[in-house]
Amino acid sequence: MKLTPRLKALASLVPLNKAAADIGTDHGYLAAYLVRHNLCPYVIAGDKNEKPLGKARDSVRALKLEGKVLIRLGDGLEVIQESDQVKVIIIAGMGGKTICSILDDGWEKLKGVDILILQPMVDIWLVRRWIIERGFRIKEEKLAKEGDQIYEIIKAGPGEQGPLDDLQLELGPKLLEKRDPLIRPYLLRKLRKCKKVMESFKKSKQEIDPKKYNYWNRLTCKIEEELRCLQEK
C-alpha cells in the first residue's frame, strides 16, 4: 500500500504502538496504512460525511482491516470514546479554522491525548496560535511536497511553549530551526506570495491598513533574511 508524500509524512510523525484517531479520514488510506504497517494497534477513522466514510469502508474491507480500523460517522472528536484510549489525534487536509474548532468543540476528548498531528491547508498560524494558547507545545514540524504544493505538518503535545510572534506563527519555529529539507522552496513560495501582496498594496488606490502593511513588510524581510542565511550555509 503506497501513500502519497503528504500522507507518508503524516504517518512518519505518528509515535509507535499508540491508539490513534484520524478525524476527517475521507478515503481512510492513512488509517489503513498505520495499522497495516503495525505502527498503531488500531485507528478510529472518523468523518462527518457518509460518502467519504463509504470510501474508507471499501479500503478497509479490501485490505481486511475491519476490527483494526474502526470506521465511525460523526462530527470531529465526537467519534472518540473514553474507552478507546486514543493517544494520538490526526486532523489533516482541512482549513486551519476548521481544525481549531474541531479541537475546541472536542476539548474534553483531548484529556489523555499525547500527540496531535495537524495539517491545515490554509491559515496555519491559527493552528499554531491554538496550540500555544491551549497548553500544548510544538514538538516537530515537517514539510511534504506533492505536485506543486508544499504542505506543512505540525506535531504537538501537552506542555508549555514559549511565546511565538506573528512571524513565527506563520513560518513555523521548528521548520526554521531544524532546516527542513524543503525549507528553501517553501520560503521561496511564501516570498512570492508576500511580493504579490506588497505589489497589490502599491497599486491600491485605497488607503492601506498600516498594521497589515507592516505585517507583510516584516514577513517579506524575515523570509529574505532566512533565505540569505540558507545560502550562506
Ligand X SMILES: C[S@@+](CC[C@H](N)C(=O)[O-])C[C@H]1O[C@@H](n2cnc3c(N)ncnc32)[C@H](O)[C@@H]1O
Side chain identity at residue 136, one-letter code: F
CA dihedral 59, 62, 68, 69 (to 10 degrees): 10
Instruction: Figure out which of the listed residues 11, 14, 35, 102 binds ligand X, where binding follows CB under 6 A.
Output: 102
Interface with ligand X: number of residues (CB under 6 A): 16
Give the residue among 35, 73, 34 at the shortest CA–CA distance from 54: 73
Q: How far is the CB of 213 from ligand X (least distance, A)?
A: 33
Least distance (Å) between residue 118 CB and ligand X: 11
Express the helix, strand and coil content of the chain in percent, nearest 5 each: 50, 20, 30
Q: Is 23 in the site for ligand X (CB under 6 A)?
A: yes
Query: Should residue 5 be labelled a site residue for ligand X when binding is judged by CB under 6 A?
Result: no
Task: Provide the minimum distance between the beta carbon of 199 and ligand X in the complex, in angstroms, as a whole number.
Answer: 31
Asked if residue 48 binds ligand X (CB under 6 A), the reply is yes
Q: Residues 11, 13, 20, 26: which binds ligand X (CB under 6 A)?
A: 26
The answer to whether residue 106 forms part of the interface with ligand X (CB under 6 A) is no
**From the list 24, 96, 120, 172, which residue makes contact with ligand X (rule: CB under 6 A)?**
24
49 contributes a contact to ligand X by CB under 6 A: yes
Nearer to ligand X, 93 or 96 (CB): 93
Separation CA 152–CA 150 (nearest Å)? 7
* Greatest pairwise CA separation for the chain in angstroms: 61
Kindly tell me which of 46 and 172 has the beta carbon lying closer to ligand X: 46
Task: For residue 161, give the C-alpha cell.
Answer: 511553549
In this structure, the number of other CB atoms found within 10 A of the CB of residue 43 comes to: 30
> Is the Cβ–Cβ distance between 158 and 132 less than 8 Å?
no
N-terminal to C-terminal alpha carbon distance within the chain: 38
- Cβ proximity to ligand X: between 30 and 194 the closer is 30
Q: Which of residues 201-230 bind ligand X (CB under 6 A)?
A: none
- CB neighbours (10 Å) of residue 128? 27
List residues binding ligand X (CB under 6 A): 23-26, 46-49, 52, 75-76, 92-94, 98, 102
